[in-house]
Amino acid sequence: MTTLKESAHEFLAQRRIAVAGVSRDTKQPANLIYRRLRDSGHDVFAVNPNAELVEGDTCFPSLQAIPGAPPDGVVIVTPTQAAVEVAKDAHAAGVPRVWLHRGMGPGSSSDEATRFCAEHGMTVIPGGCPCMFGETSDVGHRCMRVMLQLTGKVPRTL
């Protein structure tokens, strides 16, 4: 068993990371995650089937549409009901790591998506946010992590 912190650092050590659920609305959580990953030097890919351009960058309709090697990981920041479909797309694209975003609300946390990832040999982080860890973090997100772990909404160990 590993801690959420260890898993988060391993995920964020990867170079090519996709963010599924980015929006044309720059105030959305997925967009903040996208910008933080991009600004910290990751090769980051925006994924949304309903957008062609996000944050000034090309947006891909699916993980399978990203050119070149598959991303090393994907952060899923979609409504809960869409999370399993994105996890299936990740598996089909050969993405080995999935992070199901969860902040104050239910986020993308999905037992079905978590089970799918585990059954298909994918590493999964079933909650929390990349902005709670490492170079992408800020004080507010780190405090939120502690609060969410105390209330059981974000796991301490995986």
Domains of the chain with CATH codes: 4-150 (3.40.50.720)
Integer Cα distance of 132 and 116 in angstroms: 25
Of 75, 78, 58, 77, give the one whose Cα is nearest residue 66: 58
Give the pLDDT band of residue 99 (cuts 50, 70, 90).
very high
Give the pLDDT band of residue 155 (cuts 50, 70, 90).
confident
Asked if the model's pLDDT at residue 8 lies above 90, the reply is yes
> Hey, what are 85's tokens?
């479909």
pLDDT for the residue numbered 95:
98
| Helix spans in 1-156 (H) | 4-12, 29-39, 80-93, 111-119, 139-150
Bridge partner residues of 123 (DSSP): 97
Q: Which pTM was predicted?
A: 0.95
Asked if the model's pLDDT at residue 107 lies above 90, the reply is no
The number of beta carbons lying within 10 Å of the beta carbon of residue 20 is 30
pLDDT tens digits, 48-76: 999 999 999 999 999 999 999 999 999 99
pLDDT for the residue numbered 75:
98
pLDDT for the residue numbered 62:
98
pLDDT for the residue numbered 156:
87
